[in-house]
Amino acid sequence: NAGVTQTPKFQVLKTGQSMTLQCAQDMNHEYMSWYRQDPGMGLRLIHYSVGAGITDQGEVPNGYNVSRSTTEDFPLRLLSAAPSQTSVYFCASSSSGQGVETQYFGPGTRLLVL
């Protein structure tokens, strides 16, 4: 199993540009989530999904969209990038979510918005 994969590893954007961060898992996990990691703030939940077709907002959803058309994929879209969105983004998955099962994290995407 590849586990949780994320692309790209690094990305530089200009303010106002849009992009999609890709996340895929091959463990047939129902629960997937996106976090951003900023210095001194730990990980903050952006959006999550409890299954295909179901998504919900986390702690810091503004400026981000998600969709879950398949169990495997959970892309994160930045609609109009802002410097405040410079961060490291982690995707994670687990079999049931909501703190019941262990989450598996992807390697992260480092995003710089100029």
- C-alpha 9/C-alpha 16 separation (Å) is 20
Q: Does residue 103 touch other proteins according to CB under 8 A?
A: yes
Residue 72, classed as helix, strand or coil, is coil
Rg (CA), the chain: 13
- Residue placing its CB nearer to other proteins in the complex, 81 or 91: 91
Q: Does residue 1 touch other proteins according to CB under 8 A?
A: no
- Which residues from 16-35 bind other proteins, rule CB under 8 A? 33, 35
Beta bridge partners of 19: 78
Binding segment for other proteins (CB under 8 A), chosen from 19-27, 39-47, 66-74, 75-83, is 39-47
Element (H, E) at 62: none
Pairing type for strands 42-51 and 31-38 reads: antiparallel
**What letter represents residue 106's amino acid?**
G
Among 45, 50, 52, 82, binds other proteins (CB under 8 A): 45
Structure-token pair, residue 5 = 């994969």
Q: Does residue 87 touch other proteins according to CB under 8 A?
A: no
Among 11, 58, 63, 73, binds other proteins (CB under 8 A): 58
What is the contact surface with other proteins in residues (CB under 8 A)?
Answer: 33, 35, 40-45, 48, 58-59, 90, 92, 94, 97-100, 102-103, 105-108
